[in-house]
Chain A
């Protein structure tokens, strides 16, 4: 039974968390709307009369934003789909299959994280170039899948372990193949976990800079972070432009999250009926 006090406390906590989480973003957006002269005032100005959208105009008009967006979407969506698919397969396999060495495999995939990514650009790019994927979308996608697959596999193994084995056994009784059981019975039940790793994979690919630059380069195939780094990686930080560019970059991530969440809520109600 949910007591009223608990609910109140929950609202209070959520409000606090929201302030903590949003404050930097809000302050950034607010600052990006200010005229330059007011950016460095102390005490800071809080007036809204002088706000304007000039930096957003500049970013949208002065950089090939749509092209960066398209490149980023291709790389992020494909790498997310592949990573989630492969991880779901591997995760289920590891959670269910009774063979020796599961634990060993789980630990081995962590090899991908043993070295900070900034330290292995050189050999990693060499490996990608050796298999002929330098300067291709597929090369970057492969790198991103590699970065997210171990994480996703671990997460999904944990979630799949929670799916009652009886459901699968019931399916087997009905004569369904393992593949059917996986696709029809298991995947839907693990939807919350799948959504989690999908978001993780997407954000990882969407925000990554260094490998985007090294593998796809700074030309026509630039992804958004590489393209937008121009506003901060130059001789000086173009604060207004940077913020405007950032909000524009973050928008798809947040939209995706909103979208997935809606679907997730729907899927969950369907799942909740199961019992």
Chain B
């Protein structure tokens, strides 16, 4: 009468068995009792995660008794994962991170300095340009070492330019003309800037253009210089671009949408790293055939934006092996093969890696101009908002999405540019001010 399939014995018994099973430590946890090394990275693609595992295997072989446990932490989750780990005392020994994320970690006391590692790799001079310092030097110490780097380029469609009878743009005016001439609404657009909220596309683009006009968001002491002619100039340029050649989706798109926009041919120009070409070569070979790149358009000079993906040593439980492992990542047999797991995605931070073994890769050869423009740009570049070196303001300013908000107010509500820049400058002052009150006290 009361027959049922959810019997008590089944329910309780099942729960008890599974609960008991779930508390058993997995065998691999037991095996590593001695020198466990925890390594976090965010190289989620199979090619790169396999390469990391192989390097770890080689490290284990070279250092008997060490067991490397790898955790893959997706990029977007990293900013939440490390504070949680720090609060609970489970920080890793080595981590890969975006260079800018090392600043809050260093300030919070989550990182061990890496000056020894830099020295062992040949000092800051062994790195390309000034990138060891611009990506890693904070308050006189190296808090991270760039694992690989890339630089923002202006990627363009050769066929569209040829069709419009245009040359690759050099100045802002050229860029605007090319973008308008290569727009064929609604099929494709000249240059779709990515100005969505919850993404730093707008902030990055404006920062590059402001740099190009010899301006900046704030100076090295954190004094905000946003409400200025260069920033207004750059804002006006991007707004005109968005209105005349950006299509209907500019306030919708995020930086990562670039891959689908370029691969689908929806945009004729795009600001991105060489990775965009790598993505096209993989997914849309016909489009990749038509891609080339030049420097970002300039007003007074080229405003380069550096992408720095770095190695850092959080305060884990095994700092000695951590240090060794960080060095090991840059060892000859590990480094270049890793850079080439997805060619064009990653460029060497170490000068010595710019050799034949890198340049002879078929994909690198095929897009040699894209590579050369990237490498040239890397000689004079910096992280967004970090042109005076690592500082604690750029992160909160970019992550406040104040710039994206400004573009949206101008584009969607027709707010006058002068007024919009003024309002946003005040917001940025507030953000910077909040950080300064704590930072200045040391």
> Judging by beta carbons under 8 Å apart, are A214 and B81 in contact?
yes
Does B45 contact A234, Cβ atoms closer than 8 Å? yes
Interface string of A205-226 (1 = CB under 8 A from B): 0000110011001111110000
Are the CB atoms of A82 and B15 closer together than 8 Å? yes
Q: Does B4 contact A191, Cβ atoms closer than 8 Å?
A: yes
Known: A85-B11, A129-B90, A217-B71. A138 touches B6 (CB 8 A): no
Restricting to A44-87, which residues have a CB under 8 Å from any CB of B? Answer: 62-63, 74-75, 77-78, 81-82, 84-85
**Which stretch from A5-13, A90-98, A182-190 is at the chain B interface?**
A182-190
Q: Does A146 count as interface, using CB distance less than 8 angstroms? A: no
B40: chain A residues within 8 A (beta carbon): 218
Taking CB as reference atom, which chain B residue is nearest A124?
B84
**B283 contact set on A, CB distance < 8 A:** 36
- The answer to the question of A42 belonging to the interface, with a C-beta cut-off of 8 Å to chain B, is yes
Does any Cβ of B come within 8 Å of A175's Cβ? Answer: no
Would you call B75 and A234 a contact (CB within 8 A)?
yes
Q: A40-B266, A42-B186 are in contact. Are A233 and B260 (CB under 8 A)?
A: no
* Interface members, chain B 252-280 (any A CB < 8 Å): 256, 258-260, 263-266, 275, 279
Q: Which of A37, A118, A136, A194 contacts B23 (CB 8 A)?
A: A136
B334 to chain A, nearest CB (A): 20
**Contact (A213, B18) CB under 8 Å given A36-B263, A39-B260, A188-B2:** no
User: Is the CB of A23 closer than 8 A to any CB of chain B?
Assistant: no
**Of the residues A135, A188, A274, contact of B6 by C-beta under 8 Å:** A188
Q: Which B-chain residue is minimally distant from A227 (CB atoms)? A: B72
Q: Which residues of B contact A118 (CB under 8 A)?
A: 80
Instruction: Decide: B84 and A85 in contact? CB cutoff 8 A.
Output: no
Instruction: Please report the C-alpha to C-alpha distance between residue A12 and residue B3 in the assembled complex, in whole angstroms.
Output: 35
Contact between chains at B286 and A74 (CB < 8 Å): no
Q: Interface SS of chain A: helix, strand, loop or mixed? A: helix
Query: Interface residues of B, CB < 8 Å — how many?
Result: 60
- Say whether B6 contacts A187, CB under 8 Å: yes
Contact A274 B4 (CB under 8 A): no
Query: Which A residues are CB-close (under 8 A) to B87?
Result: 122-123, 125-126, 129
What residues on B are CB-neighbors of A274 within 8 Å?
A: 1-2
A234 lies within 8 A of B74 (CB) = yes
**Hey, which chain A residues are within 8 Å of B5, CB to CB?**
263, 266-267
Which residue of chain B has its CB nearest to the CB of A127? B88
Whether B3 lies near A218 (C-beta < 8 A) is no
Contacts of A36 in B (CB 8 A): 263, 283-284
Give the residue of B19, B26, B72 whose beta carbon is less than 8 angstroms from that of A138: B19
Listed stretches A102-110, A235-243, A245-253; interface member:
A235-243
Whether B80 contacts A137 by the Cβ 8 Å rule is: no
Q: In whole angstroms, how far apart are the Cα atoms of A273 and B1 in the complex? A: 8
A33 at the interface (CB under 8 A from B): no
Contact residues in A for B83 (Cβ distance below 8 Å):
122
**Interchain CB contact (< 8 A) of B2 among A62, A185, A239:** A185
Most chain B beta carbons < 10 A, residue from A78, A126, A266: A78
B256 to chain A, nearest CB (A): 5
A129 with B75: CB separation less than 8 A: no
Complex Cα distance, B254 from A216, in Å, reads 30
Residue A25, interface by CB 8 Å: no
Docked-complex contact B4 and A138, CB < 8 angstroms: no
Contacting A at CB under 8 A, from B1-40, are: 1-8, 11-12, 14-15, 18-19, 21-23, 25-26, 28, 40
Q: How far is the CB of A83 from chain B (nearest CB, A)?
A: 10
Given known contacts A122-B83, A183-B8, is B266 in contact with A81 (CB within 8 Å)?
Answer: no
A229 within 8 A of B: yes
Provide the residues of chain B in CB contact with A14, threshold 8 Å: none
Whole-angstrom distance between the alpha carbons of A221 and B264 in the complex? 37
Does A204 have its Cβ within 8 Å of any Cβ on chain B?
no
The answer to the question of A270 belonging to the interface, with a C-beta cut-off of 8 Å to chain B, is: yes
Q: How far is the CA of A138 from the CA of B24 in the complex (A)?
A: 9
Of A63, A123, A137, A188, which contacts B22 at CB under 8 A? Answer: A137
CA distance A231 to B44 in the complex (A): 7
B12 touches A85 (CB 8 A): yes
Q: Is the CB of A187 within 8 A of B72?
A: no
A113 CB to closest chain B CB (Å) equals 20
CB pair B12 A218 closer than 8 Å: no
Say whether A121 faces chain B, with CB atoms less than 8 Å apart. yes
Q: A134 at the A/B interface (Cβ < 8 Å)?
A: yes
Contacts of A63 in B (CB 8 A): 46
- Could you tell me the distance between the alpha carbons of A266 and B23 in the complex, rounded to whole angstroms? 35
Interface presence of A143 (CB below 8 A): no
A37 touching B84 by the CB < 8 A rule?
no
Within the complex, which residue of A122, A137, A236 is in contact with B84, where a contact is CB–CB below 8 Å? A122
Known: A36-B263, A37-B286, A135-B90. A74 touches B23 (CB 8 A): no
B2 touches A184 (CB 8 A): yes
A75 CB contacts on chain B under 8 angstroms = 22
Nearest CB to that of B266 among chain A residues? A40
Any A CB within 8 A of the CB of B89: yes
Decide yes or no: A40 and B2 within 8 Å by CB, A125-B87, A126-B88, A237-B259 being known contacts: no
The answer to whether A196 has its CB under 8 Å from any CB of chain B is no
A183 to B11: give the CA distance in the assembly, Å. 11
Structural contact, A78 and B15, CB atoms closer than 8 A: yes
CA distance A206 to B23 in the complex (A): 19
Give min CB distance, B83 to chain A, whole Å.
6
Contact assessment for B84 and A121 in the assembled complex, using a CB-CB cutoff below 8 Å: yes
| B18 & A81 in contact (Cβ 8 Å cutoff) | yes
B residues in contact with A156, CB < 8 Å: none
A-to-B contact residues, CB < 8 Å:
36-37, 39-42, 62-63, 74-75, 77-78, 81-82, 84-85, 118, 121-123, 125-126, 128-130, 134-138, 141, 183-185, 187-189, 191, 194, 209-210, 213-214, 217-222, 229-231, 233-237, 239, 263, 266-267, 270, 273-274
Interface pairs A-B: 5 shortest CB-CB:
A233-B74, A40-B264, A129-B88, A230-B44, A188-B4
- Some 13 contacts from A to B, beta carbons below 8 A apart, are A41-B264, A78-B19, A81-B14, A122-B83, A122-B84, A138-B19, A184-B2, A213-B81, A220-B28, A234-B44, A267-B3, A267-B5, A273-B1
With contacts A74-B18, A122-B83, A236-B258 known, what are 6 further pairs, Cβ within 8 A? A40-B266, A78-B22, A218-B40, A230-B72, A270-B1, A270-B2
